[in-house]
Structure 1
Amino acid sequence: MSRRQLLPPDRTQAFTDFLARRLLRVPARPGQPAEPPPGALRIASYNLHKCVGTDNRFDPGRIATVIHELDADILALQEADRRFGRREGLLDMAELQRHTGLAMMPLAMARGGHGWHGNALLARNARMIEARRLRLPGGEPRGAVMVELEFASGRVRVVAAHLGLLRRHRAQQVNALLESIAEADDTPILLLGDLNEWRPGPRSSLRALERDFGPVDAGPPTFPSRLPVFSLDRILCRPTGLLGGLATHETPLSRVASDHLPLTAHLDLAAARPAALAAAA
């Protein structure tokens, strides 16, 4: 019998977190997320693993159910399209919209695709103002999308990305993302997705993001979904004070539907207006 079998589930997770912090220098899990302020938007990022679960089953229906559980207003998806061939999308987006209200932003180049290099963006009760597809440098095809959305509570610019597997490529891709927002106005910017970085401290390929988005190390582990140890997924915001409640969405279904757990947070766009007025004063 293994050590994991000897421990009850809550102590198993505590033991795993302890090992992660001691051996891998992964930050401790945050406590219970705070209640969002009235009118805050719910944000989520989810790597679908092409709808193949930890049981090796291809099941888009399970992914759709997890997305329904998220109840997000803004949702970034990674690996939402087939990687080869016609790059078709893997979800029934029309059915998903009927059940969740989430509309897919028109980002795909291929007919029937969901996004750009597998990055799809969905939003509820929002108007798309502008969208850009970004090519990212590196040894494998990678991309990001930048979409400006207008909600009743205000505007937000969303940058959704899936960075590369090699540290030097991720560093190049981070610089490319920063260049893409260098001339942006003071509209709040969300940066979210699978950034593929688990190293905290000076070795992190995400370090250059801190000037604009604040600390990049803090974040709950999302991978592997059955027993998460690595904080591969991020939700970041500029300015930093608008984002709160960062947490994993961990349910029996989300632990098996993909090898990543979804990451969620809330965004208070109403708080951006006083900050902008104070900066202009």
Structure 2
Amino acid sequence: MLRHWQLHGTIPLPGLISVKFLIAAVFVVLVGGAAQANEPNQSIIRVLTYNIHHGEGTDGNVDLQRIADVIRRANPDFVALQEVDRNTQRTGGIDQTKQLAELTGMHGYFFRQIDFAGGEYGQAILTKSDLIERQQFMLPGEPEREQRLLARALFTVGGKQLWFATTHLHHADNDIREGQVAALNALFPKIDPMKQPAIVCGDFNAVPESQAMKTIAGAWTISGAEKNLPTFPAVKPTRQIDYVIVRGANEMRVISTTVLAEPLASDHCPLMVEIAITP
């Protein structure tokens, strides 16, 4: 059951409809207490990134309904999920992406990282939009252990094509993680951010002051970078390791960034970001 929501540094927009087209000439929103005006005909999307720990909560129980409840309550247009099982023995042979898609009423796309426990383990994207194409790329690391990847899919939002991606960077080795960040950046230069802006979400396993995040900040806009947004551990989070980053500053503007306090469903808190896209 969904716990109370906790806000870190920003004010969410109550009652916001997903991919909402603004027909008024001026629409005022609050970003960290400062009022800003949107341009007419912008689209607003809600993006959620969530490391779901294969559905295992902080009570040790695997319960996808709790994860689905968190997602439904947040009402996102796009969801990036990390640590997702598919038909593994440890989670009862369930295709977790398929089940979460059914429970949330969204489309679900699974991206395999490794074979694991009689099934597969990786990441997933949930969305309300129709898929144009999907791609996945293995990142440098330790192939004999958990191979890391970046998975992205192309969608049309507000008349514009948008790349939405999920990733999960190395948890322990700084050099490997920085190499993965370099590979992440290298995957996007050929994409024109004016024509196809990009959003990358995930568990970066790096705190804001790390070299990995400084490298990302040189090429991307980090949502809520000026705020204190701890996402881990889920019970009394003390540090941020989950992020939403955007590329295509002329096309996208971050409106709000919010940590959703859910201490039970996973060992991470989900991070919600609202983004305005100019057609």
Distance in 1 (alpha carbons) for counterparts of 2:198 and 2:65: 31
State the one-letter code of the partner of 1:261. Answer: C
Distance in 1 (alpha carbons) for counterparts of 2:213 and 2:97: 33
Partner of 2:181: 174
2:243 corresponds to 1:234: yes
Distance in 2 (alpha carbons) for counterparts of 1:268 and 1:66: 23
User: What is the correspondence of 1:27-176 to structure 2 with a 5 Å cutoff?
Assistant: 29-33=8-12, 38=22, 39-81=43-85, 91=96, 93-94=98-99, 96-105=100-109, 107-108=111-112, 118-124=122-128, 126-139=129-142, 140=145, 141-165=147-171, 166-176=173-183
Distance in 1 (alpha carbons) for counterparts of 2:56 and 2:263: 12
Distance in 2 (alpha carbons) for counterparts of 1:268 and 1:47: 24
Distance in 1 (alpha carbons) for counterparts of 2:135 and 2:97: 24
Partner of 1:259: 267
Q: Structure 1's 90 and 50: CA in aligned 2 closer, same or farther, altered over 3 A? A: farther
Greater fraction of residues in helix: 1
Question: Can you give the 5+ residue segments of structure 2 that lack an aligned partner in the other structure?
Answer: 1-5, 23-42
Identical pairs, percent: 26
Distance in 2 (alpha carbons) for counterparts of 1:86 and 1:192: 26
User: What is the correspondence of 1:201-216 to structure 2 with a 5 Å cutoff?
Assistant: 203-215=210-222
Cα shift at 1:176:
0.7
Cα shift at 1:66:
1.3
Distance in 2 (alpha carbons) for counterparts of 1:77 and 1:206: 20
User: After alignment, is 208-217 or 30-39 more displaced?
Assistant: 30-39
Distance in 2 (alpha carbons) for counterparts of 1:34 and 1:47: 24
Q: Structure 1's 128 and 110: CA in aligned 2 closer, same or farther, altered over 3 A? A: farther
Question: Can you give the 5+ residue segments of structure 1 that lack an aligned partner in the other structure?
Answer: 1-12, 14-28, 274-281
Distance in 1 (alpha carbons) for counterparts of 2:241 and 2:134: 25
State the one-letter code of the partner of 2:186. Answer: E
Matched residue of 1:175: which SS?
A: helix
Normalization by structure 2: what TM-score? Answer: 0.74
Matched residue of 2:218: which SS?
A: helix
Alpha-carbon deviations, 1:37-57, whole Å to 9, x = none? 744111000000111111111
Contact 1:117 1:144 (C-alpha < 8 Å) held by counterparts = no
Cα shift at 1:105:
2.5
Partner of 1:188: 197
Matched residue of 2:215: which SS?
A: helix
User: What is the correspondence of 1:266-277 to structure 2 with a 5 Å cutoff?
Assistant: 266-269=274-277, 271=278, 273=279
Contact 2:113 2:123 (C-alpha < 8 Å) held by counterparts = no
Q: Structure 1's 105 and 152: CA in aligned 2 closer, same or farther, altered over 3 A? A: farther
State the one-letter code of the partner of 1:142. Answer: R
Cα shift at 1:263:
0.4
Alpha-carbon deviations, 1:177-229, whole Å to 9, x = none? 111111112311001111111251xx431222222213575451111111011
Matched residue of 1:256: which SS?
A: coil
Partner of 1:4: none
Q: Structure 1's 101 and 156: CA in aligned 2 closer, same or farther, altered over 3 A? A: same
RMSD: 3.2
Contact 1:34 1:244 (C-alpha < 8 Å) held by counterparts = no
Alpha-carbon deviations, 1:165-186, whole Å to 9, x = none? 1211110101111111111123
